[in-house]
Amino acid sequence: MQSFNSISKEYLAQRKQAGETCRLFNKSPSKGNLKRIKELFLKSGDGVIIESGFHCDYGNQIVIGDRTFININCTLLDSPLANYSIMIGDDCLIGPNVQLLAVSHAVNPTERLNKENFAAPIAISNNVWIGAGAIILAGVSIGENSIVAAGALVTKNVMDNTVVAGNPATKIRDI
């Protein structure tokens, strides 16, 4: 994990700009406002669809592959740090109210007083389906063709071709 101070002037300004872009899109999810959202990202593939209610903190380290669909009210709590991104592969389905949380805070109460954030990358491989209301935590990778069931809290890596469910998410079966 890498730490950064999210309340520095630089990061506050970046979050404000990204937040305004998200607000405009969510108020009016037109093609022009969708284009502005995608321009925040490090990379957005062809045929990416994002429904309204989308939120990200910075966007500049988010990578989304081709033909990925992000349903309503998705939150990507992302980091501005290089190599601490949220990467979503090709042909993914992200359900409504999904949260990808690549940023967290210190467990130690004294360290938390400094308001430092800790970031670790999230990697979603190709052809993954993340069900409604699932939460993926920092540092987690989801393997190719896998399914994260609705409402799952994913705290550990998921292997390829696996279905996980529950809180914390555990393997249900192979695909």
Give catalytic residue positions: 105
C-alpha to C-alpha distance for 15 and 36, rounded to whole angstroms: 15
**Amino acid letter for position 92:** C
C-alpha to C-alpha distance for 82 and 58, rounded to whole angstroms: 12
CA proximity to 167, closest of 150, 148, 153, 147: 153
C-alpha to C-alpha distance for 93 and 50, rounded to whole angstroms: 11
C-alpha to C-alpha distance for 50 and 114, rounded to whole angstroms: 35
Q: In a 10 Å sphere around its CB, with 0-12 CB exposed, 13-18 middle and 19+ buried, how is residue 42 labelled?
A: middle
Largest alpha-carbon pair distance within the chain?
Answer: 47
In this structure, the strands spanning 86-88 and 62-64 are parallel
To which H or E segment does residue 27 belong?
Answer: helix 9-27
